[in-house]
């Protein structure tokens, strides 16, 4: 088992804690993490771009000019893609499907790999508890500044939803909060540092050590 430092609410070392190798000590495979990451990003993508083809453009019911005798090229409709304001050939359509399938086991495996990488890089910090009694921001700002490079993006992993913690962290830049049961590869990849409580560690092990 990997052993890491345990910190108190003031960011001071308060002993050691062992992390399960089943979740925080697995071999890291970049291709698996990349596959899951791109799948999650693709599944969140919405096909907003939409162009009209020749049949959808307004107007053009009448032939612009007669077929012969004008000296100009023949045309049957101003809705042709050749005309300004006409339809678009092979343009983006809102019916496009970006969804990628990814199985649950591979997704969980990628989360374990990301957590392991954070431990190896010493960017995962375990605290006695992550709570707030009054919902004040000051305590969380002080906690964050107690760790190196506190200005970088940070993810706080909670065992369950805590309204007071959400209120306390809502105004802190580059800091996000997520439940242990919801954390995914994108969350871990988009944040430099991870703060977890002992309860959060237990929740992650219960979810991922299967």
Q: Is the pLDDT of residue 81 over 90?
A: yes
Q: Is the pLDDT of residue 209 over 80?
A: yes
Q: In terms of domains, do 200 and 109 share one?
A: yes
User: How many domains is the chain partitioned into structurally?
Assistant: 2
Q: In terms of domains, do 119 and 82 share one?
A: no
Phi-psi region of 103 (alpha: psi -120 to 50; beta: other; left: phi over 0): beta
For the segment 51-76, the average pLDDT, to the nearest whole number, is 91
Q: In terms of domains, do 8 and 90 share one?
A: no
Q: In terms of domains, do 127 and 180 share one?
A: yes
Structure tokens at 188: 């871990």
For the segment 130-144, the average pLDDT, to the nearest whole number, is 85
For the segment 66-78, the average pLDDT, to the nearest whole number, is 93
Among residues 36, 71, 97, the one where a domain terminates is 97
Say what the pLDDT of residue 147 is: 84
Output the pTM of the full model. Answer: 0.81
Task: List residues bridging with 6 in a β-sheet.
Answer: 126
Say what the pLDDT of residue 1 is: 73
Decide if 148 contacts 187 (C-beta within 8 A): no
Which residues are CB-contacts of 99 (< 8 A; sequence separation ≥ 6)? 42, 43
Q: In terms of domains, do 80 and 174 share one?
A: no
Q: In terms of domains, do 111 and 83 share one?
A: no
Buried-state track 6-22, b at ≥16 Cβ within 10 A, e below 16: bbebebeeeeebebbee
Q: Which domain holds residue 90?
A: 51-97
Buried-state track 184-202, b at ≥16 Cβ within 10 A, e below 16: bbbbbbebebbbbbebbbe
For the segment 12-26, the average pLDDT, to the nearest whole number, is 91
């Amino acid at each position: 088992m990997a052993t890491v430092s345990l910190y108190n609410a003031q960011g001071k070392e308060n002993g050691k804690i062992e992390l399960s190798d089943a979740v925080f000590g697995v071999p890291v495979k970049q291709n698996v993490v990349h596959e899951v990451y791109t799948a999650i990003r693709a599944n969140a993508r919405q096909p907003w771009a939409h162009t009209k083809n020749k049949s959808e453009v307004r107007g053009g019911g009448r032939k612009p000019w007669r077929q012969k005798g004008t000296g100009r090229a023949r045309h049957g409709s101003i809705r042709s893609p050749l005309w300004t304001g006409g339809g678009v050939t092979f343009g983006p359509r809102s019916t496009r499907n970006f969804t990628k399938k990814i199985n649950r086991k591979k997704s969980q495996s990628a989360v374990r790999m990301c957590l392991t990488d954070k431990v190896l890089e010493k960017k995962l910090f375990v605290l006695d508890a992550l709570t707030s009694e009054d919902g004040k921001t000051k305590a969380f700002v002080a906690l964050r500044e107690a760790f190196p490079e506190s200005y970088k993006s940070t993810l706080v992993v909670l065992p369950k939803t805590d309204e007071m913690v959400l209120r306390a962290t809502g105004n802190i830049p580059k800091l996000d909060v997520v439940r242990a049961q919801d954390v995914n590869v994108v969350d871990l990849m988009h944040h430099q540092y991870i703060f977890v409580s002992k309860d959060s560690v237990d929740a992650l092990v219960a979810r991922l050590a299967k």
